[in-house]
Amino acid sequence: MRPSELRTMTIEELRQKEKELRKELFNLRFQKATGEIQNPMRIKAVRKDIARILTIITEKQKEEKSSNNNN
């Protein structure tokens, strides 16, 4: 997922997306453990997507905090 797409989402939408990705990551790890995984590189991609989402959530929270302090 592209960061520009993620930045247009609200914090609540980002948290929901994070939950979905964490479930997918769990399933991928389970598939890896049982030897059924189709694309092992997907684990790395999902982990990076989760990190991107967490970074953007932090940025948005800092923006909100700074805008509230300025008022």
pTM of the shown model: 0.90
SS (H, E, C) 17-55: HHHHHHHHHHHHHHHHHHCCCCCCHHHHHHHHHHHHHHH
The domain tally of the chain equals 1
Q: Is residue 6 part of a domain?
A: no
Q: Is residue 11 part of a domain?
A: no
Q: Is 38 exposed, middle or buried (0-12, 13-18, 19+ CB in 10 A)?
A: exposed
Q: Is residue 3 part of a domain?
A: no
Closest by CA to 7, choosing from 55, 45, 65, is 55
Q: Is residue 13 part of a domain?
A: no
User: Can you give the pLDDT of all 71 residues of the chain as single tens digits?
Assistant: 788 899 999 999 999 999 999 999 999 999 999 999 999 999 999 999 999 999 999 999 999 888 888 76
Q: Radius of gyration (Cα) for the chain, nearest Å?
A: 15
